[in-house]
Structure 1
């Protein structure tokens, strides 16, 4: 069955244009006001809502507030429609919980691409949750095969983690090598720290295993950030950067809601800390909470060095790749300000091994 899209706009011409663009691929419903949209939802639940912001009687933002109050409506993805593309409006759209926004007047390819991408991600997430739920139920029903099933589930989960991480990295024009390289850096750092007698009360074999398994999820919160921002060439505005920074806390939320009930607490804690706090800085000037020094979880402090270094040596839509010598110099200069000085020192001492990883990676 075709997926259903509900278009909410007080302008009949806008609805007609959107219907013409979408009707060959989707079932399309329409409402000329916010109140009529809410009435529509009592009869049918669409897969996606295209919601105009500026409407009489009830604005799109007011409709969004109503959606969040009903359990059966709160998870419907919403894309706002607006002729106002000012950064503060964009920021409010995402703050209200929208997954994206589409500017007016409509461009057929833009509206189709945004909708297709949103529905693909929504389907991917639902399938992931359903797959994990089904697998967990099977394990509970087959206790005599628990050990074997647990190993199978862990392998499936790790494949899902890598697949999701690669999907997200691909959205901001990364090749996917970033995930593999940063995981390798993280393992090298953790094992070198333990060899040096540092953080031995934390760096057990289980901790390092969970750390390496969780590292690919550090930017999973970007699933909640618009492509407009992720793929923007050049620098972000202050409002856009404020939106981008939300990916840290969003990442922790995704991990807790998606995997919190089926993974071990030790792994979830590390994955949550990496996703949420890997942009914190040793001097307290990072985000999302401005944590300082050892108040930043060790896993996030390790991830921060690995992530920044690899970002520096990688080509992105907004910059060219930096040579490794310059990147190592930046890590050294940022020791004690951005990075934990003990971790930065160990990373620099690992330069030969890091260079070997870069040399052997054909994706750069």
Structure 2
């Protein structure tokens, strides 16, 4: 039997829909409770609180909206996720549903795979909330009247789980522990798989040049004990096992003071170790039982948060590699190497960063935009998979008919990503990738293709990519031309200011020209044609 993924209360007056949901969700390991109307749903939710409620809006005796409002008003069910089902799809109906307190909203006929994903996401969110709530309840019983500490712990828990990136999470953790434990020096060690050693990845009160030099072996006795025991421990400089920790760099970091080590674990997996020392108001190595309790709690919550961020980063890394591989597959048909994609990707990021630093498009060029541009830029020419080889690989100038077909690669790529984007129900970098595919051959003066857009009609991401792609095309060998020199390529782009290229982007490019040349040389293709010649830029 499949494991229980959660209990779903399903309320619908239509037997066929209710039974369909029950059968489908049970196949995915959910336990189900059924109700035929709103009153019955409320009674069942009172007798046994489920993990989530899936309820039809239009039902006899009591509507789904009324049930939702009642559940959110009750203390015992106020945090219970509620998903409304309805055949209505007008915007005002969605607003009414969300105003009633619903957490999500699906329309009939139901798309069952989507329903499963929405329910599982909400259940995971509730389970995380319950876990934090349970931890806090335990801390209330243990620490009693120490309300300030409890407030700090709860705030820390929320901040860590809200952190978008691992380095942000670790910064929150070290700063908070330094304040809560009154320690001048706090650090987090994590395992570096590439060198098979434990290194400091975040620290406070330890000079950066010192922190980067501290490195413990994979089989360090101290960390082996941490992994086996899973309990905080105080290590004294006189401890025979502390040789690595108090080596030359360790002595500078910890000043030969006793150090509290706290393991960061998840399901018996040692993810990292917190170090704390140099207390401001007590003996350096003195930690009271309540301190140990607080540190143990923080480590448990931090372990969960760190594992979640590591998984998210692994998923994102896998996505990036897959995206790059697919883009590389498209590029491989016209004999370009993966370094072309890396160069364009890097040029785009540097242009975006410099535009922001120079005061241009600051509202648009937030870190998330630049990150998405980095991910999306390699996909600019995926539409080339739809262009025939005799045109794509032609060594000479294209005929007007061939050029017209070649120009369709922008539409093919844009439409492909537009179709992929339509399958998602959330914002995605695919929206930017779609814009880049469609518009990176448009020109500032409107003479480009496929739509003849001009000026700021062209999305910013596509205007940046256009400059990066043309520079790389000019300085790279292609079937129809050898590589141009860097100086010749810069001159051509400068001539295109205000006609081909956005003047602002062109100006920033010119300030980065030497850096672009350095990037080009670092990421050059092994078979690049180094001969620089004067010839007509035919594409």
Tell me the TM-score range normalised by the shorter chain.
0.5 to 0.7
1:278-297 matches, within 5 Å, as 278-297=440-459
Please tell me whether residue 206 in structure 1 is matched to residue 385 in structure 2.
no
Contact 1:260 1:268 in 2 (8 A): no
Report the equivalent of 1:307: 469
1:184 aligns to 2:346 (yes or no): yes
Q: Name the counterpart of 1:32.
A: none
Shift of 1:139: 9.2
Residues 258 and 269 of structure 1: CA distance in aligned 2, closer, same or farther (over 3 Å): closer
5 Å-filtered alignment, 1:319-334, equals 319-334=481-496
Indicate how the Cα distance of structure 1 residues 163 and 344 shifts in structure 2: closer, same or farther if over 3 A, else same: same
Equivalent residue for 1:228?
390
Higher strand share: 2
CA contact (8 A) 1:232 1:318 kept: yes
Residue 362 of structure 1 deviates from its aligned partner by 3.8
Q: 1:152-191 alignment to 2 at 5 Å?
A: 152-191=314-353
- Mapped to 1, the partners of 2:346 and 2:369 lie a distance apart of 15
Q: How many matched pairs?
A: 231
1:261 maps to which of 408, 423, 439 = 423
Post-superposition CA distance 1:299-328 (Å, at most 9, x none): 111010000010000011111000100000
- Structure 1 residues 215, 311: CA separation in 2 closer, same or farther (over 3 Å shift)? same
Q: 1:144 to 1:317 in 2, by over 3 A?
A: same
The 1:274–1:140 alpha-carbon spacing in structure 2 relative to 1, beyond 3 Å, is farther
TM-score, structure 2 as length reference: 0.41
Alignment equivalent of 2:514, drawn from 343, 352, 359: 352
Q: 1:357 to 1:140 in 2, by over 3 A?
A: farther
Tell me the CA shift for residue 214 of structure 1.
0.3
CA contact (8 A) 2:475 2:485 kept: yes
Task: Judge conservation of contact 2:384–2:413 (CA < 8 Å) in 1.
Answer: yes
In the TM superposition, 1:71-150 aligns within 5 A as: 141=120, 144=124, 150=312
**1:257 Cα offset (Å):** 2.0
Larger proportion of helix: 1
Contact 2:342 2:523 in 1 (8 A): no
Q: Distance in 2 between matches of 1:163 and 1:137?
A: 29
Give the Cα separation in 1 of the matches to 2:377 and 2:318. 16
Distance 1:286 1:362, change over 3 A: closer
Aligned-pair Cα RMSD in Å: 2.4
Aligned to 1:339: 501
TM-score norm. by structure 1 comes to 0.59
1: CA distance, partners of 2:503 / 2:426: 31
Q: Structure 1 regions of 5+ residues with no counterpart?
A: 1-133
- Map of 2:407 onto structure 1: 245
Structure 2, unpaired ranges of 5+: 1-112, 129-307, 529-539
1:31-70: CA deviations, max 9, x gaps? xxxxxxxxxxxxxxxxxxxxxxxxxxxxxxxxxxxxxxxx
**Distance in structure 2 (CA, Å) of the matches to 1:237 and 1:253:** 25
Task: Pick 1 or 2: higher relative contact order, CA cutoff 8 A, min separation 6.
Answer: 1
